[in-house]
Structure 1
Amino acid sequence: MYLLGLGIVLMLLKYLAIGPVADWSWWWVLSPFVLAVVWWAWADASGYTKRKAMELEEKRVAERRQRTKDALNSSTQKRHR
C-alpha cells in the first residue's frame, strides 16, 4: 500500500513539474507501481497474504471468546451476590 501511495505522489509531482521529480525519467516515477505488483505477486505466491488473513481471523476469534468468557463471569458473579 505504501508503494502505491509513493507512486501516486511521484506521478503527481512529475505531472505537475514540481521539484526535482520533474527532471526524473517516467521509468523512475512509475517504478513504485511495478514494485507493488511484484510485492503482491510474491505475497500471493508465498502464502503471506493468506497467512496474515488467518492470523487476523484467529485474533478476532480469541477476542470474541474472551468477551464471551468475561460476560459469563460477570453474569455469574451477579447471581451469587
Structure 2
Amino acid sequence: RSALAAGGQVSLHSPSGPVSLLQGGHVTAALRDAMSLEHAVYEASWRAELLSPAEIVKDGMLWIPPGPGLGATLDGAVIDRRGKRWRP
C-alpha cells in the first residue's frame, strides 16, 4: 500500500510453486493498479496434482478459486510422495 500511495507500482514475483502463486494472485487482485504477477508454471509435470482445484492460467490470467482462505487445498499425499525436505 505504501508503494502505491507514494505513486509507485507493485509487481510480485512468485517462482516458488502453486501455493505462493495463489497467494500472490490474491494480493495482486486486491491491489489497485498492481502490475503483472511474475510467475513460473508447468516446470514440474506433477505440479497440477498439488492443489485442488489445480491452478489455472489461461490467456495470461490466473484464475482465483472461490472459497475460504486461498480457495484451494493442498494434497498431503502428493507432498508425501513428491516433496523434498530442505535443510540449510
Q: Normalising by structure 2, what TM-score? A: 0.30
Answer 1 or 2: which has greater strand percent.
2
Answer 1 or 2: which has greater helix percent.
1
Q: Normalising by structure 1, what TM-score? A: 0.31
Larger radius of gyration: 1
